[in-house]
Amino acid sequence: MKNIKGIYIGYAENLEPQSRAFEEVGGELIKGNLGGSSTGNSLLSPKNGDNSKIDQVVSLLEETKAQSLVLQGHGFPLNKDFFEAVSKVETFKGLACFGHGFDGIDIDSASSNGILVSNAASFGTEEVSNHALMLLLVCAKKFVLHDKLVRQGVWTREYLSPMGHISGQTLGIVGIGNIGRAMGRKAKALGMKIIAFDPMVSSWDFKEYGFEIASSINDLCKKSDYVTLHCFLNSATEKLMSAEQFRLMKETAYLINCSRGPVVDETALIAALKNNEIAGAGLDVFEQEPTNPENPLLKMDNVAVTNHYASYSEVAWERAETQLGEEAVRISTDSFPMSLVNPEVKKKITGKKSAQLWEIYKETLK
C-alpha cells in the first residue's frame, strides 16, 4: 500500500524501531523538526511545552500529507488548541504517544475533534510489575533502614522487629490491567493471597485471574498487608488513597505506588507515616516531579523511593518505540489502534477497521 506516512516528533536520534512498521508495509516515517531542544521527558509532562509549535506541526502535516504523528518527548501540549488545529488537516487521522499514562492529554478534545489517540500500553508491563515487586520486598525487609545502618558502620539487630512477611500475606491490587495482573501473577508465585479492586473489570475476569474481589477501595485497604497501585490517573482516581484509606490500613501494612503520584494524597501519606498508621511505603512516583529534595518522604527510613523509572529497560524501550510505529500505521490506514485511549471518538468517526494483531494486519497492507 502506497502513501502511508507518519511524522515523528521527539528526542530520539535513531528512528529504526519507530520506522520498522512503516517500512514493512512500504510506508514512510518522516523526522519532523520543530526547532529548539527536545525535552527528553517522553509523556511524563504532556501538558507542558510550547503552544506556538502547534502551528509548525500543522504545517508539517499539510506539507507531507501524513496521516499520523508519532510523539516521543515532543515539546508541545496535547491540549484543546492542538486537537482543534490538527483536526483541520484533511489527511490527518491520529497520533501514537510514547508511554503508558495519558492523564496529561486532553482526551475529550481529541474525541470531539475525531482524532484517534494511542499509547504504548503493555510495553512496560514486566518492568513496572518487577519494580513494584522489588519495592514490596524492599519494604518488607526494611532494606532502606538497614542499608543505611550498615553503611554507617552500625551492625545491629535492634531494629529487626516487626519484620514483614510475604508468603501467606495479602496483597491488595488497585487496578488489574496489564500491569496489575502481572503483579498478581508474580506475587502469587511468592505464596501471597491476592485481593483486587477494579470497578471496570468483570467478576468472571477476577475468577480467571484467581483474585478475590474487593467491593471498594476501603474494603481492600482493610484486608491487605500490602497495597499496590496500578490504576491510571483521572478525576475518579486522583487522591484515591487519602487519609481515610490510610486510617483503614493495618499498622503493619505498606503502600506501593508505581502508577501516578496524584493517585495518592501525599500530605495524607506523610501524616499517616509520621503517626505510624501504616508501616511504610515504596514510591516510584510523586505528586510533583521532580519532587522537592526537602520532601519529608525522602528523609524517612521506612520509605523506599525511585525517580519514576519503573518502566525502563532497553528491551522495554525498544518495544515501546516499535509499538508506536505499529499503532501509527494502523491509524494511517483507517484502522483503530490496538491501544485506543479515547474510545469516545467512535461516536464521531465511522468506517474504521477493527484493530488486529500486527503480524496479521501488516499482511493485509502489502
**CA–CA separation, 42 vs 23, rounded Å?**
24
User: In terms of domains, do 49 and 66 share one?
Assistant: yes
pLDDT at residue 339, rounded to an integer = 95
pLDDT at residue 35, rounded to an integer = 72
3-state secondary structure of 170: strand
User: In terms of domains, do 196 and 284 share one?
Assistant: yes
Total domains, the chain = 2
**Element (H or E) spanning 28, and its range?**
strand 28-31
State the pLDDT confidence band at 33, using cuts at 50, 70 and 90.
confident
Scanning the structure block, which residue is given the C-alpha cell 524492599?
138
248 and 271 Cβ atoms separated by less than 8 Å: no
208-247 confidence digits (pLDDT tens): 999 999 999 999 999 999 999 999 999 999 999 999 999 9
pLDDT at residue 42, rounded to an integer = 42
* pTM flag (> 0.95): no
Whole domain around residue 275: which residue ranges?
125-305
Q: Of 36-45, 47-56, 118-127, 144-153, where does mean pLDDT reach its minimum? A: 36-45
User: In terms of domains, do 294 and 320 share one?
Assistant: no
Q: CB within 8 A of 299, min separation 6: which ones?
A: none
**Residue 89, amino acid:** V
The CATH number assigned to the domain holding 253 equals 3.40.50.720
User: In terms of domains, do 177 and 193 share one?
Assistant: yes
Cβ atoms within 10 Å, residue 1: 12
State the pLDDT confidence band at 104, using cuts at 50, 70 and 90.
confident
Percent of the chain with pLDDT over 70: 95
User: In terms of domains, do 178 and 257 share one?
Assistant: yes
Residue 268 gets the label, from left (phi > 0), alpha (psi -120 to 50) or beta, of: alpha
Identify whether 162 is preceded by a cis peptide bond (ω within 30 of 0): yes
Set of cell numbers at residue 109: 478534545
User: In terms of domains, do 160 and 266 share one?
Assistant: yes
pLDDT at residue 47 greater than cutoff 60:
no
* Angle, helix 178-189 to helix 125-140, in steps of 10 degrees: 50
Torsion, CA 179, CA 121, CA 337, CA 7, rounded to 10: 180
**CA–CA separation, 273 vs 99, rounded Å?**
31
Percent of the chain with pLDDT over 90: 88
The residue from 305, 324, 346 where one domain ends is 305
User: In terms of domains, do 264 and 167 share one?
Assistant: yes
Q: What secondary structure does DSSP assign to 194-233, as a single string?
A: EEEE-TTS-HHHHHHHT-EEPSSHHHHHHH-SEEEE----
pLDDT at residue 38, rounded to an integer = 46
Facing residues of 196 across strands? 173, 213
User: In terms of domains, do 274 and 134 share one?
Assistant: yes
State the pLDDT confidence band at 23, using cuts at 50, 70 and 90.
very high
pLDDT at residue 50, rounded to an integer = 67
User: In terms of domains, do 321 and 202 share one?
Assistant: no
Q: Of 41-55, 76-90, 229-243, where does mean pLDDT reach its minimum? A: 41-55
State the pLDDT confidence band at 39, using cuts at 50, 70 and 90.
very low
pLDDT at residue 36, rounded to an integer = 58
pLDDT at residue 76, rounded to an integer = 86
The residue from 256, 282, 305 where one domain ends is 305
State the pLDDT confidence band at 44, using cuts at 50, 70 and 90.
very low
pLDDT at residue 342, rounded to an integer = 96
User: In terms of domains, do 110 and 133 share one?
Assistant: no
309-327 confidence digits (pLDDT tens): 999 999 999 999 999 999 9
125-140 confidence digits (pLDDT tens): 999 999 999 999 999 9
Residues serving a catalytic function are 260, 289, 308
The residue from 266, 282, 305 where one domain ends is 305
Radius of gyration for the alpha carbons in the chain, expressed in angstroms and rounded: 22
282-307 confidence digits (pLDDT tens): 999 999 999 999 999 999 999 999 99
User: In terms of domains, do 19 and 95 share one?
Assistant: yes
User: In terms of domains, do 257 and 340 share one?
Assistant: no
Facing residues of 70 across strands? 8, 96
